[in-house]
Structures are given as structure tokens and as C-alpha cells.
Chain A
Amino acid sequence: MKRRFLSITLGTLMLLSLLTACKNSGDDAPTDEPGTSVTELTFSESWDFSSGFYPVLTPENSTNTGPMSYASNFYETLVNYENGNFVPGLAESWEVSDDGTVYTFKLLEGVKFSDGEDFNAAALKKSMDVVPQNLGVYNGSYGVLSTLISEIVIVDDYTVELRITQPYYGVLKDLAVINPMGIVSPAMLEADGSPGEAFKTGTYGTGPYMYAGDGDGTTYAFVRNPYYSREQPDLDKFYVKVIPDNSAKLLALKSGEIDAIVNSDSLSYDGYFEMQSASGFEAALSPQESNTRFLVFNLNHTPFDDISVRAALARAIDKSAICDGLLSGLEDPADSLFPKSYPYCDIDVNVPTYDPDEAKTILENAGWTDTDDDGIREKDGVRLSGSMIYMTGSDTIVSDLALTIAAQAKEIGAELIPEGYDMMGLYGAMYGDFAVGLYHAYTLQYDPYTLMTNMNSELGADPFACQATAGIDEGNAIIKRLNSTPDETEVQDIYTQILNNITDNSIFIPISYIREIAVWNSDKIAEFSFAGYPTATNVARITTR
């Protein structure tokens, strides 16, 4: 009996190892017959499109914003963001008045919506006029501009004046984000301006593709916009399959059921490297950074109100080791809260270098010594200790990051206790008396503008962001000035001031810049380029074999 039992055990162990060895043998991507050109591709998304296709998506109609990553295929905006600059979109050119309250846009001619309607000043006005009402109570949560519009004036068929109640330096950026400024065909709106049933089952934009209308809740098909008259993209048709689980997405890519996975929400670094080394697949990092990981201190929570503590910790974190090791070289060490490629952020700050010895000296000189020999310093009876809150996820990478940072802090005699929360729990903890937060910025579509706006503590929108202005005299006033000045120089000065203040006072410790990732079936896809906002899957930028 015992022998039988042992043999069964051994057998199963061997089976298990065989199994795991099997998968390492490099999966071959399913190939097309040679000579045929690829006209269709399949992508995946975690949520379905049951909330419809209207570009303004608020918690009123759905909390699943995943489908927005495909919106750029159907809808366009007046301007587009590319590599730190705002370039023409549906607007050919524009001028800004001296006082910053009138933006005159010259619109592209010869463009039609997918329902055949012409795109012109009248259509633009109608499409944009209803945005504030469709945002409803969430007007202001998706960009400041929609709260500032006083009037949109039609000058002629292809010229429009956007008049706002006060100057705002982020007008172009707000106009570049499809939610809520994607232009829709006003003919498909209801009489009262709401999107109605039409947009639940159709896309009515100027983009190269449109919804074919026959989704079954699991797979959605999108075809060419018959009225699109500019340079045609390669694909005739593309599908989006709803796959909630990220492991399942990767399996589907391997089995050929989908052809690409874009976006770090859908793909882990482990999956990225797996597909990079598999034959028939390729992987890429976006050239643009799209987010920043950081540590943030609560300046009201002892002992992190002591600048020596913060300065010491800033010198105790070995960002290069973290980026090369834990993050597998896919992220770059961060010097400042925002990457230099972001608008207004091409600033040199005095980055503290990794120097644990200097960190220890700073603490010693400030009176933090380890009197009771437990490895953690104290001063006047206060331990150099605090909880570090972070969000747990299906990927354990953030937990590992928290543990690594805690270990590096321990080296200099500081104790950061990792406390992981699920998403809802973290929001609760953020508004409590947290000591240290391990979090990230808002992603490129909202950074740096929205994060800067939220530094105004009167809004009560983001307790992490508010720390940036704590300790600056009139910090909130400065932010309000930022959002209402027409003077570009002043905007840049405020950015320089705030970003320097953050670094000089070690309020945030930026750890790394995140880029978006994508993997795809290289037998079907010849070239893949990331969109201007790299979390989006822009099918037009994909060339097929």
C-alpha cells in the first residue's frame, strides 16, 4: 500500500513537472496560409460594451471605462496629443486670444460622420454644447474645460470660437480626451441632447471605424466607416472579445483566438516576457511614459512631518535596483513626479541620489538614534515607524514593491509597514490618517493637469496630491492661479515651483516611470504603434501582413 502510494505520488510529481516543462517549449503562433493578407484582427477587453458607445461615460451610465480604450477608432477630437505636443485633429489650426478666453478653431473640411452627416461648425457646436449636460453631476470630474464653457460661436461653416469664462492653460488637453470631448454626429442625439438608444447600439463619429451593430455581449465587430475619406488604415474589420481574466487573455493570445493584448491593465510583465520570447509573437514598450509610481508622505503624520526623515528615506530607496530587478527593466527610475516628456515638466530638479550612508547621517544629525537596539530609530520617544498603504491587485508586483521598499528603509533604521488594501479599502484608508502611501499618478490622459488641480486641498479630491502644496504658503491659491492664468510663463513657473518644492522637501519620492506594453501575433501584425495616449488601442496604427 505504501509503495503504491509512493508510486502514485512520484507519478503525479513527474506529471506536474512535465506539464510545467511542456509550456516552456515556445508556443508557435497559429499562422495564416502564405500569400493571404490579413484583413481582420481580434482584440480583447475586460468589460463589455453594454453601457453603449457614447463618448461621455460617467458612473451614471457605467463604471467600466475599459471600452474607452477603443473609442479613438470611432471618435475624433479637435486636437490630438502626440509626444508632449498638441497637434491638429479635427481642427486644422487654432488661435488663442491674448486674454486666453477665446479659442478660434479652423475645422477640417470634407469630413463626414459614419451616419453620412457632414462635420462642420454647426455639428461641432451641437456635439459640444450637450457635453456639460450629459456629464450631469460629474461635470468637472473629467476635465475642467466643460465647466468653463460660456459659449461656442459659429463664425462660418468651418470656423468656430470657443469662449470660456476664465483663462485655462489646459484647454487643448481637455479637448484631446475623447471622454468627454469626442465629437459625435448631432443628428443621432435625442431632441434633448442626451445620447439615447442610438448610442447604445452604434458609434456615430468621424473616425475610420464604426460599430457593425451585431455584438452578442461576448464579441463585438467593428467595420470601416464608409464615409471616412482620409488615409485608410490596413484592417477592414476588427473584433473585440470580452475576456475578464488576464490569464485567460494570454491563453487566448497563445491559442490564436485573439491577436494582440495592449495596455498594462490587461497584461502582466511576466506575460510580456513570455510572449516576447515565444516565436511568432512580439512585444513592445511604448516610447512615451504614461504613469509614475511614487511614495507620498502625510505631512501631518509623525514622524513624517520631520523633513530629515523624508530626506533620509529619499536617499535610501535604490530606484535603479528596483527598476532593473523587480520591474525587470521595463520601468525607468523616476527623478520627478512627472516625466520630462509631459507638458511643462521639462524641469531639472535636485534629485537626491541613492546613498544609504548619507541617509543614516541625516537621521543621526537630526537626533534619530536606535537607543533600544531593535533596528529602528527613535527620537524623543517616537519610533521612526509608519504604515505604508497600497493597493493590492491580481498581480503581486505592487506588494513586492512595498516589501522591497520596506526592506530598504529598514537598512537605514526606518520602519515602513506594508498594508495592502483592495481598491475600495484603499480609498477608505487614503482619507484616514495614513502615514505613507505607495501609489501612482493618473495616467497620461489626466496628468499632469488633473493631478495639479487636485493639489488644491479645498477640492478634497485626492489626499495624496494635496501633500504637494502643504507647507507652501498659499498653496491652494497658487493652484487656483494655475488654472486661471492666461500667461504661459506663469504656468511654467508654477510647475517649476511645485515640482521643485516636492523634491526639495521630499514630499513625494518618485520611484519609476511606467510605460505601456503590448504583445501581438507577429505573423498577422507587421507593425504596431502606440497611440498618442498609449493606453488606447488605435487600430489605424497597426499594419498587417
Chain B
Amino acid sequence: MPSLPRKLVKRAAMLLIVLTGVSLLSFALSAISPIDAAEAFARRSLISVSPEQIDLLRVEMGLDKPIYIQYLKWLGGLLRGDFGVSLITRAPIADDIFARISLTLKLSGLSLLIVAVTSVSGAVICAARKNSPFDHAIRGITVFGLSVPNFWLGFVLLLIFAVKLPIFNVIESGSSLKALILPAVALAIPSGSSMTRIFRATILSEMNKDYVIYARARGLSAHRTLWMHILKNSFPSILTMLCQNFGYMISSCAVLEKIFSLKGLGGYLADAIIGRDLAAVNACVFIVALIFVAVNTLSDIVNARIAPRMAGGVPNV
């Protein structure tokens, strides 16, 4: 096995490449848009605006320069921690993101926790009691869970638990557990349903391996040690999937943040996209990618520790 520092350096290099790629892609996408961002922005806020005002705005937005210069400028700012100023809030983007990111992370984290706990336990029980009524019920429920559009779930949950039953408020301030639990559940239902089904299949296929069949043949079917082995071997792929899901969750937070009136990163990104606030979009995309990449790296490291012999054929990246 190559020495740890060398692996880390290789890993870090990969991350940098991915992040650079993400930022390049982000700029490329904004370049292909035919809408003149300066003009669109000026007209959004003003009843009457002159071409001179638009030109001033264009210079302020830095859009008068060719795209590669804009990218280099952005890169320079990034290294200083300066993402520019948001067109919508007129505050430094770094400040905006910093104020909002903890809420989104908490929301996604809480949601992931719910997903992990319910899907893993659900999957284990289903696999252990395959084809029992419980198994069928869970499989039925999860199919519904992953077929429901999540933009609708939030609204329904609020309607039931905030309006009909006065348990929660429609608007909860802050980022306490009470404020985040409903949106976290809404976020967790589609992912959790999907994960439960996948984990069930993973555990089942693990249970079909030789050592399990052998142990069963020796009459050790429900033995705890056997289960620990099964879980330990299923763990890498479960963790990988959960972490990939985390990244996906962060970006799908947007709709839920809106309906639950939460001041998070997802809503900020959505507003920036709609308002053609390119600087904010680039910054948010970068941060989201950073989180995604970091979380996946973490999961790879944990996997490498727990199960050093990974499924064959995967190169050591």
C-alpha cells in the first residue's frame, strides 16, 4: 500500500482538479446564456432605465471583459476568500453564504441521519425477514415514498402538522430541531425510500455469499457475529451511497427552504439562478461542490479504514 502522505497528496490533487472543473463548467454555462445579465438585471428593478445605466452596471458586474479574464478574476477573488457582491442582496457573497450555510448543512445532516437510521434498520429487518408481511409493507411504502415529488411533500407536511394539527409553526425561526424536523422529514422521505430498497438488495446479496451460506449450514443463521460480518461487508457501499446522497440533498434543499421559510443556501442559489446573479451562482456551485467532494472523500477514507480490501477492480484514486 502506498504511504499515507502520498495517497493524501494524490487525493488532494484530484479534488482540486474536480473543483476547478466545476468552476469552469459553471462559467461555461453562464457564458452560453443568450440573456444579457446586466440588461436583464437593470430592468428587473427599474421602471425606466437608460442604456448608460446598463453599461455602468455591465462594467460593475465585470461583464464587459472576455470570459477567461472574468474567470481568472473570479479565481483570484476565490483565493482571497472574496466571492464578489451579490446583485440581489447587495452584500458580499461570502457573507451571504456564511450566514446561510450552517442551516443548510444542519438540515441536510439531520435529513441524512433520518435516512441512515430508517433505511439501514428498515433494510436489515426486511432482509432478515425476507418476504414477511413487514417486508412487503416496507417495500410498498417505499415505492410510494420515492414516487412523490418532493416539492409537494413539504406543502402537505405543513398543511397537516402546522395548520390542521397545531404542533409546529408554519414559520419557525432559527435552526433549532423544531424548525428543521419537518423539512428534514420531507427531504428524507424520497431519499430514504430509495435507499431502503437499495440497501435491502445490498444486504440480501451479501447474505448470498459463501460464508453466510456456510454459517447457516452450520446452524448459525441468526447469530450476532454473522450479522456483524454481513453489516461490516455491506458497510462500504452503504456509506458511499449515503454520502453521495448528501450532496444531492444539499442541492434539492432549495424548494423546501422556500416553503418552510428557511434562510439557507439552497434558496439563495435558487434566487441567484432566477435573478441571473452570476457571481452568486458561481460561488454557490463551488461551495456545494466543495461540500460534496469533501463528504465523498471522507466516506472513502472511512471505507478504506474499515474495509481495506475493497471490491476488486477499483483503482486507487
Contact = CB atoms under 8 A, between A and B. Distances in A.
A248 B170 contact: yes
Name the residue among A4, A216, A446 with the largest chain B CB count within 10 angstroms: A4
A65 B163 contact: no
A4 B141 CA distance: 12
Interface in B30-75: 34-37, 39-51, 53, 56-57
A428 B45 CA distance: 14
A285 interface: no
Given A50-B89, A62-B89, A424-B35, A27 B48 contact: no
A64 interface: yes
Given A255-B170, A424-B275, A431-B39, A244 B261 contact: yes
Interface string B254-270: 00001111010001000
A266 interface: no
Contacts of B140: 4-5, 8
Interface in B136-190: 136-137, 140-141, 144, 155-156, 158-160, 162-164, 166, 169-171, 173
B263 A217 contact: yes
B87 interface: yes
Interface in A90-111: none
Interface residues of B, number: 52
Contacts of B88: 63-64
A472 to B, nearest CB: 20
B38 to A, nearest CB: 11
A248 B173 contact: no
B90 A244 contact: no
B47 A425 contact: no
Nearest to B271: A244
Interface stretch (A317-325, A339-347, A453-461, A528-536): A453-461
Given A22-B164, A65-B45, A428 B169 contact: no
Nearest to B131: A1
Contact of B48 (A60, A65, A252, A461): A461
B306 interface: no
Contacts of A243: 170-171, 261
Nearest to A456: B48
B13 interface: no
Given A5-B140, A243-B171, A257-B169, A59 B46 contact: yes
B277 to A, nearest CB: 9
A493 B36 CA distance: 39
Given A63-B88, A450-B48, A254 B158 contact: no
A4 B134 CA distance: 12
Interface stretch (A136-144, A482-490, A497-505): A136-144
Contacts of A65: 45
B91 interface: yes
A423 B274 contact: yes
Contact of B276 (A62, A64, A142, A424): A424
Contact of A454 (B41, B48, B90, B169): B48
Contacts of A141: 46-49, 53
Given A137-B53, A248-B260, A254-B163, 4 more contacts: A8-B144, A65-B45, A424-B40, A460-B51
Interface of B: 34-37, 39-51, 53, 56-57, 87-91, 136-137, 140-141, 144, 155-156, 158-160, 162-164, 166, 169-171, 173, 258-261, 263, 267, 274-276
Nearest 6 CB-CB pairs, A to B?
A461-B48, A424-B40, A252-B170, A427-B43, A8-B140, A59-B45
